[in-house]
Structure 1
Amino acid sequence: MNLKTLSEKLGLSQTTISRALNDYPEVSEATRQRVKAAALKYNYRPNTRAQRLATGRAMAIGHVIPMSNNQEMVNPIFGDFIAGAGESYSKAGYDMLLSVVQDKDEEATYRAMASKGSVDGVIVHGPHKNDPRIKLLQELGLPFVVHGRSMGDETSYSWLDINNGRSFQRATNLLLDLGHKRIALLNGDETMDFAARRRSGYEDALRKRGFAPDSTLTFSAEMTEQFGYETAKRLLQGMRPPTAILVSSYITAIGVRRAIGRAGLMLGRDVSVVTHDDDLSYLRNGDDIPSFTATRSSVRNAGRRCAEILLQSIATGNGQPVQELWETELMLGDSTGPAPS
């Protein structure tokens, strides 16, 4: 069924139907529900071109990906986030515009999106401390949601983040409770907000338990499997190797596990590992019992929810920020045990 036929059946204009399906505030709730019920009954799928003409919108959401060497989001975790966001876009009849650009071209890309009207909003990935993109998008008047948040001003824009500081504080306390005193941290790029908060949580837990953070046990880099393997290998070959390692990514933790195995040691007995697990749909952390003890939060669900927040903001024109801080779940797995004597 096309828009014209649905319009005739309901006795409503095509513009009203398009506006109802896209949750415009000027359409009454009764009309909106009536239109959506009819669309479901007759299996109507909006034509994107017709929607654009009727609503004056681009019917697309932008994702700008800068290709710096240390970019954290061009990885499998980003793929799961995009899959979740894509589900929300598809339900709302929106397309996704993914722009992969050189770092120096990032600002120009956002400005072009705003001036051309090629997108109705954007999702900002991998925020840094005092991220300049937030001020830029506010000046451009382009609706946006940040996946994460940026230290500095966290009150004037929409964001969704996990409680990274508390998450790594709890993970560190778990290892301390098991008797571990030398706990290494393999973190992400600490110019990025999430990694800075995770280090803070780790160090706060140590200090509150009477341990001074040891700079020789903390490392920050792009979260790859190779980073995990090479760093853990060096640590385990040292004169005073750690008995536990806290890791910022499940992918990095796989490299740590490889290093432990090649050193002839047993994960969970000789060396304990706690990692963050984004609950990836295609790279699972075990079955009934997790392979790794982990702080878990689904990045796919985060993608879905970020998209929902942005689409609702676009539909209603409500500029009031929506801010959600999710707690992680601490999952006990096979990778942790008492500190070896």
Structure 2
Amino acid sequence: MNLKELSQHLGLSQTTVSRALNGYPEVSEKTREKVLKTAQAMNYSPNARAQGLATGRAKAIGHVLPVSDQHEMVNPIFGDFIAGAGVTYAKHGYEVVISLVEDSKEEAAYQSIKARGNVDGIIVHGPRMADRRIELLHNLKLPFVVHGRASEVNTPYSYLDTNNSRAFQRATDFLLDLGHRKIGLINGLEFMDFAHRRRMGYEQALNNRGIAIDPGLMRSAEMTEIFGYTATSDMLASDTPPTAFIAASMITAIGVRRAIHERGLEMGRDVSVITHDDDLSYLKNGHDVPIFTATRSSVRTAGARLAEMLLQLIDEPGQGPLTELMEAELIIGSSTAPAPT
């Protein structure tokens, strides 16, 4: 059924029906209720393009992803994020526009999006320490929220982030309480803000116990399984190998576990492992008992909440920046044990 047929059925003009569906105040509440009830009963779904012309909105949200391998988005974690955000978008009648661009052309992509007017807002992924996109989007006057924070940006902006420093300090403290003193950090790319904060949390926990920071126990690269494997293999081959590792993601932790087993060791007995981001739809951390001890922060929940924040900014453009900080939950699994004597 289209708008014309719905209007004929109701005996109202197409303009009145359109205005009732889009919440215009000049339509009486009685008429609005009648139109909405009939539209629902007859399974009417408004044409998004036509609805956009009527409201001045594109009814779409943009996600710009660089295609370089030097980032942390195009992986199963982003799949969970967009699934969470998509539920919120669908509930409010919005669609998703994903643009893949070369890293060097990312800023130009935002300018093009603004010029075309094909989205009402942007979610910014993978913020760096000093992220120029935040100032650019401010200047373009395009509503946006950031998934994460940018430590070296002083301009106020809306964001939702996990308390990464606290999560990794807590993970390190947990291993220290178990008697571990040589703890390897398998981190993400440290020009990314989240990875920088995670290293800060790890180092803070060691400093608090009077344990010297050892650069030889820290590795930083894109969070892949092979990185987790090679970094762990390298550290385990030393004369005084770590007795525990903290991995920046479940994907990396799988590589850590492979390296441990390849040396004839048992995870959770000979070597302990804690991971982050273990709550993934298609990469579950065990069933009844978690395989990995983990600092858990749901990416899907973050996607849904960021989408809500962005839609709020679009609906109420005059309000100040919205900010939220999610705390990670420490989940105890079978991958950790007291340090071997």
Is TM > 0.5 for Structure 1 vs Structure 2? yes
Deviations 1:281-314 (A, max 9, x none): 1110111211000000111111111111111221
Alpha-carbon spacing, 1:254–1:16, altered in 2? closer, same or farther (3 Å): same
Any conservation in 1 of the 2:85–2:300 contact (CA below 8 Å)? yes
Normalized against structure 1, the TM-score is what? Answer: 0.92
Q: CA deviation at 1:237?
A: 1.2
Counterpart secondary structure, 1:304? helix
CA distance in 2, matches of 1:242, 1:27: 70
Query: 1:156 aligned to 2:185?
Result: no
Q: CA deviation at 1:33?
A: 9.0
Q: CA deviation at 1:39?
A: 5.1
User: What's the counterpart of residue 290 of structure 2?
Assistant: 290
Letter in 1 for 2:233: K
CA distance in 1, matches of 2:255, 2:26: 54
For structure 1, which segment, 318-327 or 222-231, has the greater mean C-alpha deviation from structure 2 after superposition?
318-327
User: What's the counterpart of residue 128 of structure 1?
Assistant: 128
CA distance in 2, matches of 1:33, 1:14: 8
Letter in 1 for 2:19: T
Any conservation in 1 of the 2:66–2:106 contact (CA below 8 Å)? yes
Counterpart secondary structure, 2:22? helix
Any conservation in 2 of the 1:167–1:327 contact (CA below 8 Å)? yes
CA distance in 1, matches of 2:334, 2:39: 49
Deviations 1:112-161 (A, max 9, x none): 11111111111100000121000000000000010111113467211111
CA distance in 1, matches of 2:254, 2:146: 28
For structure 1, which segment, 225-234 or 26-35, has the greater mean C-alpha deviation from structure 2 after superposition?
26-35
Any conservation in 2 of the 1:260–1:267 contact (CA below 8 Å)? yes
CA distance in 2, matches of 1:82, 1:45: 23
CA distance in 1, matches of 2:101, 2:227: 25
CA distance in 2, matches of 1:221, 1:238: 20
User: What's the counterpart of residue 114 of structure 1?
Assistant: 114
Letter in 2 for 1:131: D
Alpha-carbon spacing, 1:37–1:206, altered in 2? closer, same or farther (3 Å): farther
Any conservation in 1 of the 2:183–2:244 contact (CA below 8 Å)? yes
Deviations 1:227-261 (A, max 9, x none): 00011111111101000001101100000000111
Alpha-carbon spacing, 1:103–1:30, altered in 2? closer, same or farther (3 Å): same
Any conservation in 2 of the 1:279–1:296 contact (CA below 8 Å)? yes
Counterpart secondary structure, 1:222? coil
1:68-217 equivalence runs, <5 A: 68-153=68-153, 156-217=156-217
Aligned length: 337
Counterpart secondary structure, 2:186? strand
Deviations 1:175-232 (A, max 9, x none): 0000000001000000000000000000001100111111000010000000000111
1:8-27 equivalence runs, <5 A: 9=10, 13-20=16-23
Any conservation in 1 of the 2:203–2:213 contact (CA below 8 Å)? yes
Tell me, which stretches of 5 or more residues in structure 1 are unaligned? none
Normalized against structure 2, the TM-score is what? Answer: 0.92
Query: 1:63 aligned to 2:63?
Result: yes
CA distance in 1, matches of 2:31, 2:65: 36
Alpha-carbon spacing, 1:95–1:133, altered in 2? closer, same or farther (3 Å): same
Any conservation in 2 of the 1:295–1:328 contact (CA below 8 Å)? yes
Tell me, which stretches of 5 or more residues in structure 2 are unaligned? none
Query: 1:299 aligned to 2:299?
Result: yes
CA distance in 1, matches of 2:311, 2:152: 26
Percent identity of equivalent pairs: 58
Alpha-carbon spacing, 1:331–1:2, altered in 2? closer, same or farther (3 Å): same
Counterpart secondary structure, 1:13? helix
Alpha-carbon spacing, 1:70–1:91, altered in 2? closer, same or farther (3 Å): same
Q: CA deviation at 1:278?
A: 4.3
Alpha-carbon spacing, 1:39–1:213, altered in 2? closer, same or farther (3 Å): farther
Letter in 2 for 1:144: F
Letter in 1 for 2:87: E
Any conservation in 1 of the 2:268–2:336 contact (CA below 8 Å)? yes
Any conservation in 2 of the 1:18–1:55 contact (CA below 8 Å)? no
Alpha-carbon spacing, 1:154–1:310, altered in 2? closer, same or farther (3 Å): farther
For structure 1, which segment, 2-11 or 143-152, has the greater mean C-alpha deviation from structure 2 after superposition?
2-11
Any conservation in 2 of the 1:167–1:198 contact (CA below 8 Å)? yes
Q: CA deviation at 1:18?
A: 3.9
Deviations 1:23-59 (A, max 9, x none): x8x6899789947666555543222122112111111
Q: CA deviation at 1:172?
A: 0.4
Alpha-carbon spacing, 1:80–1:33, altered in 2? closer, same or farther (3 Å): farther
Letter in 2 for 1:296: R
Deviations 1:89-118 (A, max 9, x none): 222222211111111111111001111111
Any conservation in 1 of the 2:278–2:294 contact (CA below 8 Å)? no
For structure 1, which segment, 26-35 or 96-105, has the greater mean C-alpha deviation from structure 2 after superposition?
26-35
Counterpart secondary structure, 2:306? helix
Letter in 1 for 2:118: S
User: What's the counterpart of residue 330 of structure 1?
Assistant: 330
CA distance in 1, matches of 2:279, 2:73: 16
